[in-house]
Structure 1
Amino acid sequence: MNPIVVIGTGLAGYTVAREFRKLDKTASLLLVTADDGGFYSKPMLSNAFAQGKEAAQLVTQTAAQMAAQLGATILTGARVESVDTGARAVVTSAGVFEYEKLVLAVGAQAIRLSIEGDAADQVMSVNHVDDYQQFRRKIVDAGHGARVTILGAGLIGCEFADDLAGAGHRVTLVDPNPHPLAALAPASLARGLLTALAARGIGMRLETTAARVDRTKGALRVTLANGDAFDTDVVLSAVGLRPDLRLAQSSGLGTARGIIVDEYGQTSAPGVYALGDCAEYADGHSGTRVLPYIAPLMSAARAIAKTLAGEPTAIDLKPAPVMVKTPSFPLALVPPPVRCMAKGSWQETSYGEQIVCRFYNEQGLMCGFGVASQEANMRQILLAELGSRVADAA
């Protein structure tokens, strides 16, 4: 029998392989990756500076160690050129491999900003441990108290900002919105985060964007759309990720924002599955969604593994909080579905210093929440409340 083939050895690829191996100890398993296949947790990239972690310290197991643990073959440094879903074959730079079933865990690509200037090519992004290594080297070369400009005050931008400030660097956040986390957090929690980050010494350039990045003597000069300009040592773009659709589209798979999968994680081609940052999941309550978070990845990995092992299992996308790793103002968020946002509203309750915001749709049903400072007990209370509301809506 041909192997189960997994393309990608990030958290999604390795997790589905681990879950599958728990259920099937003998089936042939092949993982294909363009990098060295080392295992690391991608969420750790945005809070490693304050811990003084080098890139190598974030990699907890090599590809060889993972291969031994999984009883699998891991093909490293191999670029996947195409997938023939009719012939059930993967064409790579290291050869052609037929598959019994195929899992795409190809992740996402950093969104590239359109920025002018002779140093526009110096704008960095961190989407892989190798990117983190280069980013860290730039900051270390700039010395203690390096000036770091972060474009984008979303989830990753705020986490990097808080982490870098905690490591003693001078950080400036640039974002077109009036407060950070504008796409995820209710306004009161976003304002609380803004106040906490400013108290941390993080500069805020809000309601504007970066128009140019130019070289100047010993530094980079950032010119904003509002005309302001300032010097910095490093520029990081943290404006978000976009599902990597290149392989899926060239293989004729259905795509929208992500690779479209059904409730079992299967794509438009029989026997081909997708999960993680590249997938667009079916959700009975919210249509389809790209969910670039850990909880849905883990749920998808467990369900797909069971399906691969012969037990068709639907992905259970239960509400799970997004944990915002900003020590200055830790948050837990379950953003409401986009379709609810236009006609619903946030309602705020304070419990001492803790702020709880619940989002109610036009029928008065709770479909999201945010809490700061977050702690496990309150998260569980809110999740239980949210679960009962979802059940009522169904």
Structure 2
Amino acid sequence: MEKDMQPIIIIGSGMAGYTLAREFRKLNTEQELVMICADDAVNYAKPTLSNALVGKKAPEQIGLGDAEKMSTQLNMRIEKETWVKSIDAEKHELTLEKDGQPSTQGYSKLILAVGANPIRLAIAGDGSDDIHVVNSLIDYRAFRETLDNCSTGECGNKRVVILGAGLIGCEFANDLQNTGHQVTVIDLAPQPLGRLLPNHVAQAFKDNLEQSGIKFALGTTVEKVSKSERGYIVSLASGQSLLADVVLSAIGLQPNIALAKATEINTSRGVITNTLLETSQADIFAIGDCAEVNGTLLPFVMPIMQQARALAKTLSGQTTTVHYPAMPVAVKTPAAPLTVLPAPIDVDVTWENEEFEDGMLSKATDAEGATAGKQRLTLTKLVPDLIPASV
């Protein structure tokens, strides 16, 4: 079959993959579209996982549609629980495996929406294999099952130790603390949200979370997690030991670049693309948490939306570059409400601070006086675009 008569294929059923499919279908209802994924292809919004307890959502209530529903809704063939073993970029062909059986599938355009994998520390102890990560609804189901067992008294008084005081770690800490759990957050950094906030804002953020009951052990790391009759003993490099019923790791994500590298697609931290989201191989694109666009990795919701809209147009014949305006990140920590626009890491900035009755505003300016980052949505128009709109 001619290449152009083959389907457009999306590898991955996360937010990036489904958002792209939805945006594409708004523009083209007839082109054959196929999604291939190794999981069950349930559509859900990953950001809802870190505050589902407060929202009283059970794991089975988080999904927005299973593979069958999404296939009908988007007029798309979904191959779930199917592994892409290799990509032949020259032939425009995939080698697949499902239930141990190999097959091949041609494509006209291929989109890598393969996401990112949780970073796992090398931690000693016979309890290290029991450390939870939550990077998917499947992970979350396992995590909640452990928490439910704790709530029945099997695990004492529901002590949760979280590794990582970044965005996800702090959101989970707030959600757990507000639903009857005792939470301690551990991080090697001296402050929470160290990559997003200046020291003075991070300190105020930490103070507010501590007032809700969350404890922090900062400037140290976990050396060992051991099983005990009382749950787990978490031994820190500082010499401190903590008792836990559940240990959750939220120390960050690494873009999934293995398939791209095997296909000789250029990679760095992520899968390298230009502003058209094209990789170094013809007719192969990347989107979402795996995509490093013009040297920038942005594993947040708003960049995914911008990417999906632009790529959908390109796939429909309207060549469109992705545009990154200022994109605020709302941190879901009601105990310490925060909206942040991160300052670029390679720019020297000066922070200006204003105190209000209901909080604070911190504004970063560079040497030329341009606003680089802040904690209020109302200032987004002052911030230069990360990737300007094409002219």
Q: Give the TM-score normalised by the residue count of structure 2.
A: 0.93
* 1:64-85, Cα deviation, whole Å (9 max, x unpaired): 1111111110011101101111
Equivalent position of 2:148 in the other structure: 140
Q: Given the alignment of the two structures, is residue 360 of structure 1 paired with residue 372 of structure 2, yes or no?
A: no
Equivalent position of 2:20 in the other structure: 16
Please say which of residues 210-219 and 255-264 is displaced more in the overlay. 210-219
Equivalent position of 2:316 in the other structure: 309
Q: Which runs of 5+ in 2 are unaligned?
A: none
Equivalent position of 2:379 in the other structure: 382
Structure 1 position 359, deviation (Å): 1.1
3-state SS of paired residue (2:325): coil
Q: 1:59 aligns with which of 58, 63, 68?
A: 63
Q: 1:322 aligns with which of 316, 325, 329?
A: 329
CA–CA distance in structure 2, aligned partners of residues 204 and 218 of structure 1: 21
3-state SS of paired residue (2:29): coil
Q: 1:26 aligns with which of 4, 24, 30?
A: 30
3-state SS of paired residue (1:174): strand
Equivalent position of 2:108 in the other structure: 100
3-state SS of paired residue (2:275): coil
Structure 1 position 113, deviation (Å): 0.6
Q: Given the alignment of the two structures, is residue 293 of structure 1 paired with residue 300 of structure 2, yes or no?
A: yes
Contact 2:188 2:219 in 1 (8 A): yes
Q: Aligned AA for 1:177?
A: A
CA–CA distance in structure 2, aligned partners of residues 213 and 389 of structure 1: 41
CA–CA distance in structure 2, aligned partners of residues 141 and 86 of structure 1: 51
3-state SS of paired residue (2:353): strand
Structure 1 position 258, deviation (Å): 0.3
CA–CA distance in structure 2, aligned partners of residues 307 and 345 of structure 1: 39
CA–CA distance in structure 2, aligned partners of residues 325 and 86 of structure 1: 45
RMSD: 1.5
Contact 2:42 2:66 in 1 (8 A): yes
Contact 1:267 1:273 in 2 (8 A): yes
Q: Given the alignment of the two structures, is residue 72 of structure 1 paired with residue 62 of structure 2, yes or no?
A: no
Q: Given the alignment of the two structures, is residue 267 of structure 1 paired with residue 318 of structure 2, yes or no?
A: no
Q: Given the alignment of the two structures, is residue 333 of structure 1 paired with residue 345 of structure 2, yes or no?
A: no
Contact 2:324 2:386 in 1 (8 A): no
Structure 1 position 388, deviation (Å): 8.8
Contact 2:222 2:237 in 1 (8 A): yes
Contact 1:107 1:276 in 2 (8 A): yes
CA–CA distance in structure 2, aligned partners of residues 35 and 176 of structure 1: 33
Equivalent position of 2:230 in the other structure: 218
Q: Given the alignment of the two structures, is residue 349 of structure 1 paired with residue 354 of structure 2, yes or no?
A: yes
Name the count of aligned residue pairs: 376
CA–CA distance in structure 2, aligned partners of residues 97 and 216 of structure 1: 50
CA–CA distance in structure 1, aligned partners of residues 142 and 107 of structure 2: 36
3-state SS of paired residue (1:92): strand
Q: Aligned AA for 1:84?
A: D
Q: Given the alignment of the two structures, is residue 190 of structure 1 paired with residue 202 of structure 2, yes or no?
A: yes
Structure 1 position 363, deviation (Å): 2.5
Structure 1 position 152, deviation (Å): 0.5
CA–CA distance in structure 1, aligned partners of residues 277 and 387 of structure 2: 22
CA–CA distance in structure 1, aligned partners of residues 176 and 359 of structure 2: 26
Contact 2:38 2:82 in 1 (8 A): yes
Q: Aligned AA for 1:298?
A: M
3-state SS of paired residue (2:132): coil
Q: Aligned AA for 1:78?
A: T
3-state SS of paired residue (1:338): coil
Q: Aligned AA for 2:354?
A: T
Equivalent position of 1:253 in the other structure: 265
Structure 1 position 389, deviation (Å): 11
Q: 2:137 aligns with which of 129, 134, 139?
A: 129
Contact 1:189 1:370 in 2 (8 A): no
Contact 1:186 1:370 in 2 (8 A): no
* 1:281-314, Cα deviation, whole Å (9 max, x unpaired): 11xxxxx111000011000000001000111000
Q: Give the TM-score normalised by the residue count of structure 1.
A: 0.93
Q: Aligned AA for 1:108?
A: A
Please say which of residues 175-184 and 241-250 is displaced more in the overlay. 175-184
CA–CA distance in structure 2, aligned partners of residues 244 and 54 of structure 1: 28
CA–CA distance in structure 1, aligned partners of residues 275 and 171 of structure 2: 32
Q: Aligned AA for 1:73?
A: R
CA–CA distance in structure 2, aligned partners of residues 389 and 241 of structure 1: 22
